[in-house]
Amino acid sequence: MTASIAISAVRKSYVSRGREILALDRVDLDIAEGEFVAFVGPSGCGKSTLMNMIAGILSTEEGRITHEGKPVNGINRNVGYMTQQDAVLPWRTVAENVALPLRFHGMGAAARAARVTEMLAAVGLEGFGRSFPAELSGGMRKRVALAQLLAYEPRTLLMDEPFGALDAQLKLVMQEQLLAIWRARRQTVVFVTHDLAEAVTLAQRVVVFSGRPGRIKQIETVALPEERDVFRVRFLPEFEVAYTRLWEALAPEIQRGAAA
Amino acid sequence: MSGAADEAAAIGGPARTARVAAAEQAAGRRRWAIIVLRVLVGVGFIWLWHHASGNWVDTMLISSPEAVGLRLWHWTLDGTLWSNLSVTLYATAWGFAIGCVIGFSLGLLFGRYTLVAEVFDPYITAIYSIPKIALAPLFIIWFGIGIESKVAVSAAIVFFVIFLNTYTGVREVNPLYVNVTRIMGGSEADVLRHVIVPSAASWVITGLKVSVPYALVGTVIGEFMSSNRGIGFLINQATGLFNIASVYAGIIVLAVVGAVINTALKHIEAHVLRWQR
Ligand SMILES: Nc1ncnc2c1ncn2[C@@H]1O[C@H](COP(=O)(O)OP(=O)(O)O)[C@@H](O)[C@H]1O
Ligand SMILES: [Mg+2]
């Protein structure tokens, strides 16, 4: 397997109000093509920063990131990115938002409409195509963003806490959908979450970041089969092993953050 | 999908229930009540005006509704109204259009290129603080007493309002939307069309609403200063002749025109900004 995303010796700091905040330091990670990787870590450890650098929104300060063999330099149009903050355009309807990337990639109007209907059904938003985002709840807007991301089939998916705003049951349903799509299409997925159980349920590898400055503290390969049932996987012994080991790595980082 | 169903129910979903019908009925009744009250206020005002003129106040100062109505009637019949109004409207429309196009384009440009904006900022502020009316004599020297000088005055006024509003609107665009649209495959033209223009639209429309009356004012001021046609000319001429009914007739025509244009803009605004709740 070749690396889809190669991150080597990346460092990033922010300068704001005369102070330098080191967000990420010495991050090395290779993500294989078709791999599903989850990032976990205390909040503020630089997960979103790293995602923004893979997407080319931010530049690295030191080190380099390559995607599909090319160094990321400026906006990376070969990834699909579901950002942590709401990025659905408020002045476009739900259907228009989902259709936007299809349109940018030259899909015809009829094919677009069919695809939009299909994707809205997949995320449980049938009948909301003509609503504006302001008329939806936060969780519904997240699902619009998900439908938009999956509709145009980018080969690499960057997802920053995509299911954070959903209730527990709906979250499971969405996880199931995402896994089914991933098994069928084999995209490379980088999935940020603060929910350790979600990380173990979905990912093949889970990367634990330390508290600020974010460094990779541990990488855990999840010994679960790819054919997983998200509703039952948590009762398997492999789940418990991975969860416990990850929690042992993560807990001190979270406590350190809480004490600071 | 219980979560989705709950959410759909919570915001009302697509269903038209009895509640929806009742709410629409209540809103309709309120609209009618407001229309009736507005008419009553208008009638009351005319009645008051009628009683005041000649009794409490000299007709030389406030004329009377009958005299003004009669004058408007004559103007309509003999074509005076339309031949002068059309000149004023024509100059206003051109001034408005020219000011909008230049103001909008430069506003976009300056909003996208911060360096340009920062360099020019003190000059723009300085020019902005000049009362544009003060430019009217200058424009008359440059463009003559014909329609061109009136177009120039109203274009100058409209330009600044639209320029500053567009500029502010573009600067307020959330960069997240721009980046995400690019990552999805959007070109710079797509970003402009799907992100920057719609995002700046509420600012631009506010600018339009503010500048329409200004465009009219600019034209009329130009007509006051020197011209031989237009509503401003009519008012000015009547003032010279102490023909007070004609002065009021001219003012009323301007008020009606301003109100009609503003109502149209309100409807456009409601449509363009329908996504804001
Ligand atoms: N634009 C910015 N300016 C200054 N500091 C920032 C900025 N964005 C993020 N940070 C800081 O960088 C650190 C990492 O942020 P972020 O990547 O959002 O963390 P995470 O996604 O893991 O919660 C945080 O401490 C945050 O305060
Ligand atoms: Mg984050």
| DSSP for residue B135 | G
User: A218 to chain B, minimum CA–CA distance in Å?
Assistant: 30
Residue B17 tokens read as 């229930």
Could you give the C-alpha distances from B84 to A9, A86, B226, B228, B254, in angstroms and in order?
Answer: 75, 54, 14, 9, 11
Lowest mean pLDDT among A29-33, A58-62, A168-172, B224-228: B224-228
In a domain, B161, yes or no: yes
Instruction: Find the helix or strand (DSSP H, E) in which B161 lies.
Output: helix B147-171
The answer to whether residues B70 and B47 belong to one domain is no
Name the residue with higher pLDDT: A213 or A79.
A79
pLDDT at B60: 87
Closest-CA residue to B163 (of B214, B123, B92, B105): B105
Residue A194, Ramachandran bin (φ over 0: left; ψ between -120 and 50: alpha; else beta) = alpha
The domain locations on chain A are 32-60+73-78+156-260, 86-154
Chain B residue with Cα closest to A124:
B4
Helix or strand or coil: residue A19?
A: strand
In a domain, B58, yes or no: no
Q: Give yes or no for residue B8 having a pLDDT over 90.
A: no
Closest-CA residue to B160 (of B233, B110, B118, B196): B110
In a domain, B57, yes or no: no
pLDDT tens figures, A40-55: 999 899 999 999 999 9
pLDDT band at B15; cut points 50, 70, 90: low
B187 in contact with chain A, both atoms CB, cutoff 8 A:
yes
pLDDT band at B272; cut points 50, 70, 90: confident
Distance between Cα A160 and ligand 2 center (Å) = 7
Neighbours of B144 (CB within 10 A): 11
In a domain, B272, yes or no: yes
Q: Give yes or no for residue B111 having a pLDDT over 50.
A: yes
pLDDT mean over A165-188:
91
Q: Which residues of A touch B (CB under 8 A)?
A: 55-57, 75-77, 79-81, 83, 85, 87, 89-93, 100-101, 104-105, 124-125, 127-128, 132-137, 139-140, 148, 152, 166-167, 169-170, 173
Superfamily of domain A32-60+73-78+156-260: P-loop containing nucleotide triphosphate hydrolases (3.40.50.300)
Lowest mean pLDDT among A29-38, A181-190, B263-272: B263-272
pLDDT at B49: 94
B179 in contact with chain A, both atoms CB, cutoff 8 A:
yes
Compute CA B133 distance to the chain's CA centroid, rounded to the nearest angstrom.
17
Q: Which residues of A touch B275 (CB under 8 A)?
A: 90-93, 132-134
* Gap between the Cα atoms of B6 and B159, Å rounded: 50
Average pLDDT, rounded, for chain A: 92
* Gap between the Cα atoms of A200 and A206, Å rounded: 7
pLDDT mean over B116-133:
86
Q: Give yes or no for residue B202 having a pLDDT over 90.
A: no
pLDDT mean over B142-171:
90
pLDDT band at A198; cut points 50, 70, 90: very high
In a domain, B187, yes or no: yes
Q: Are A171 and A198 in contact (CB under 8 A)?
A: yes
Residue A212 tokens read as 């600020």
Residue B207 bridge partners (DSSP): none
The answer to whether residues B78 and B176 belong to one domain is yes
Q: Give yes or no for residue A258 having a pLDDT over 70.
A: no
pLDDT at B2: 42
Neighbours of B88 (CB within 10 A): 27
CATH number assigned to the domain comprising residue B121: 1.10.3720.10
The answer to whether residues B104 and B15 belong to one domain is no
pLDDT at A1: 56
Q: Give yes or no for residue A168 having a pLDDT over 50.
A: yes
Q: What b-and-e string marks burial along B218-229, b requiring 16 or more CB atoms within 10 Å of the CB?
A: bbbbbbbbbbeb
Compute CA A176 distance to the chain's CA centroid, rounded to the nearest angstrom.
15
In a domain, B233, yes or no: yes
Name the residue with higher pLDDT: B112 or A179.
A179
pLDDT at B134: 83
The answer to whether residues B196 and B91 belong to one domain is yes
Residue A49 tokens read as 């920063």
Helix axes B18-52, B65-78, angle to 10 degrees: 100
Helix or strand or coil: residue A38?
A: strand
Residue B10 tokens read as 């919570």
pLDDT tens figures, B54-95: 899 898 888 999 999 999 999 999 999 999 999 999 999 999
Radius of gyration of chain B (CA): 25
The answer to whether residues B221 and B119 belong to one domain is yes
| Burial zone of A194 (CB within 10 Å; 0-12 exposed, 13-18 middle, 19+ buried) | middle
pLDDT at B113: 87
pLDDT at A107: 93
Q: Which residues of B touch A160 (CB under 8 A)?
A: none
Residue B217 structural domain: 63-276
Sign for the CA dihedral angle at B244, B245, B250, B254 comes to positive
pLDDT tens figures, B95-105: 999 999 999 99
pLDDT band at B208; cut points 50, 70, 90: confident
The model carries a pTM of 0.83
- Measured in degrees and rounded to the nearest 5, phi and psi for residue A210 equal -80, 165
pLDDT band at B7; cut points 50, 70, 90: very low
pLDDT tens figures, A17-45: 889 999 999 999 999 999 999 999 998 99
The answer to whether residues B223 and B144 belong to one domain is yes
Radius of gyration of chain A (CA): 18
Q: Give yes or no for residue B11 having a pLDDT over 80.
A: no
Question: Largest alpha-carbon pair distance within chain B?
Answer: 79
Q: Which of B176, B180, B199 is best to mutate for the A interface (most A CBs within 10 A)?
A: B180
pLDDT band at A97; cut points 50, 70, 90: very high
pLDDT at B14: 55
Torsion of CA B122, B127, B129, B133, to 10 degrees: 180
* Gap between the Cα atoms of B82 and B76, Å rounded: 7
Specify the number of domains making up chain B.
Answer: 2
Q: Give yes or no for residue B152 having a pLDDT over 50.
A: yes
Lowest mean pLDDT among B10-19, B109-118, B247-256: B10-19
Q: Give yes or no for residue B200 having a pLDDT over 70.
A: yes
Closest-CA residue to A205 (of A192, A222, A191, A223): A222
pLDDT at B1: 39
Name the residue with higher pLDDT: B134 or A34.
A34
**CB of A213 sitting under 6 A from ligand 1:** no
Average pLDDT, rounded, for chain B: 88
